[in-house]
A and B are shown apart, each in its own frame.
Chain A
Amino acid sequence: MSIQSEDVLKIAHLARLGIQQDQVEAYASDLSNIMNLVEQMNQVDTSDVEPMAHPLDQMQRLRSDVVTEVDQREILQQNAPDTEDGLFLVPRVID
């Protein structure tokens, strides 16, 4: 599987990842090499194999639907790049 420059641009957009124009080809070549490695998986027939999502096949544990978190807004927002009145600020979205 060969990944082209336009694939790289599309994936980078999907992942909201800004990449330098002059690196697109290098990413395409690296990702193609990785895909060639990945495709060795096709050596084996897995049509009847149940996919494995968890090493111990453990189900997601559920807890009671009660409030356990306390309000830590101020502490948590200390790491935010920009806040005002307890809200996270981003560039204007709606004109």
Chain B
Amino acid sequence: MYNKSLKELSSSLQNKDISSVELSQYFLNRIKHFDGELNSVITSNEEAALVAAAEADKRIQSGNAGLLTGIPLLHKDIFCTQGLRTSCGSKMLDNFIAPYTATAVGKLEQAGAVMLGKTNMDEFAMGSSNETSYYGGVKNPWDLKTVPGGSSGGSAAAVAARLAPLASGTDTGGSIRQPAAFCGITGIKPTYGRVSRYGMIAFASSLDQAGAFAKSAEDAAIMLQAMSGFDEKDSTSVDKPVDDLLANLGNPIKGLTVGLPKEFFTDDLDDSIRETIETAIDAIKSAGANIKEISLPNINLSVPAYYVVAPAECSANLSRFDGVRYGYRCDSPKDLEDLYKRSRGEGFGDEVKRRIMMGAYVLSAGYYDAYYKKAQQVRRLIKNDFVEAFKSVDIIASPTAPSVAFSAGEKKDDPVSMYLSDIFTIGVNLAGLPGMSVPCGFVDNKPVGLQLIGNYFEEAKLLNVAHQYQQLTDWHLAVPAGYEKEA
């Protein structure tokens, strides 16, 4: 049951082979059985989920169901869910009950999907290993000693362990693609502005974008389709019709051109990762695609530019947590300044504090031009490189991450080495392009992800290539040892 595709699950529901209540209970049982050691789900929505599942069953009875009606899923705890705790992985919001629901979550709810719970994440989505969460780290089901990646580590680990068929995530610098790679599943971040940010707790507003985790490109396409679309409540949402992401999945990719950025395939690249990626490229080539070397001359400046833009936006966004209107407040403040400083000092963890300070520094008087303006100029150069590259290629391929999942604790005390684990993903956010990661093999028994990058709003083409690759390979069907048994 746990390895069935969304289409298979949906037809089981439509044929009344199983009810949504039974299917939801099945995955809730898997969470109870397996998540004790993984720590991927931090808030259960069991009671409300079973009510929603019963509603979905009625809708199926009435013949008014879509592909997602009655399908259980999990949401990253960055999305506001009315009436259910939304912590963003932080002590600051440990008691926060969202007064409204995020648009992306609401759209999935309208499609009839059943929310089983909320997933663990790096605090305020700042991290690449899930170790900054107030609720403790998440373990990677492929190797419990390693991290699942981050910041959407809980969602990725849960889908990898088959605790839910789908999970939502957000990606500011790689937070969907890198954990998807580390956990051996499929993850997609669409073009900036494609999915509404309304009700998604803001980290870096010009980079944040919501997306989907699933076992396969086809399942991810179904979920992303439902999440996407214009929302007048998000001023950066793009008012442009959403393509049919399913219609072209079966198209042959013969004749498409795949670009390989030479800056991502240097001598510094780990040999075993390179070989795995090259084998995946060969498979795509065997389906008739042309392979072409390209250059993104400024891409090596993406991590430096990101660590100005993202902290600057984070320091502005997180100024709202003041201990007054919502969130954590310190005990017996002696005056207003003490209230602000201690509530924020005690409510935020180390990495969040580091980034707020970094942001306050680069935005402070006298430094703005040297850092923030400079970073925005570098950002344009990086975008221009991609625009130039897409004049001659349809998609770009690379490794998603420079290594497989690293050990818990390995990079925790070295922020710069942690930041460099996103070296292949960050440029995509700076440019605002869609990107995804698909499983393409194993190194040391740990999954490797192939990153595919598309041109603006070409999610359908991206998913088409990923789906065709998954018709030729079965890496996406691999289940971590121990999780292939029934709960």
A residues within 8 Å of B by Cβ? 3, 7-8, 11-12, 14-20, 27, 30-31, 33-34, 36-44, 46, 49-56, 58, 60-61, 63, 72, 75-76, 78-82, 88, 90-93
Contacts and interface: CB of A to CB of B under 8 A. Distances in A.
Interface of B: 95-97, 99, 191-193, 206, 232, 235-236, 238-239, 298, 300-301, 303-305, 307-308, 315, 319, 322-329, 333-342, 344-346, 348, 353-354, 356-362, 364, 371, 373-381, 383, 415-416, 419, 430-433, 456
Contacts of B300: 40
Contacts of B377: 46, 49-52
A-B residue pairs, 5 tightest by C-beta: A55-B432, A18-B345, A51-B376, A46-B377, A81-B329
Contacts, number: 168
Contacts of B303: 37
A92 B415 CA distance: 39
A37 B304 CA distance: 6
A78 B98 CA distance: 10
Contact of A34 (B356, B358, B380): B358
Contacts of A36: 416
A31 B329 contact: no
A90 B339 contact: yes
B96 to A, nearest CB: 6
A27 B97 contact: no
A37 B376 contact: no
Nearest to B382: A52
A37 B342 contact: no
Given A30-B415, A56-B432, A61-B235, A91 B334 contact: yes
B342 A46 contact: no
B340 A16 contact: yes
26 contacts: A11-B357, A15-B359, A15-B360, A18-B344, A20-B345, A27-B357, A30-B354, A34-B415, A37-B303, A37-B416, A37-B419, A41-B378, A46-B378, A52-B379, A55-B383, A56-B191, A56-B456, A63-B232, A80-B324, A80-B325, A81-B326, A82-B329, A90-B336, A91-B334, A91-B335, A93-B336
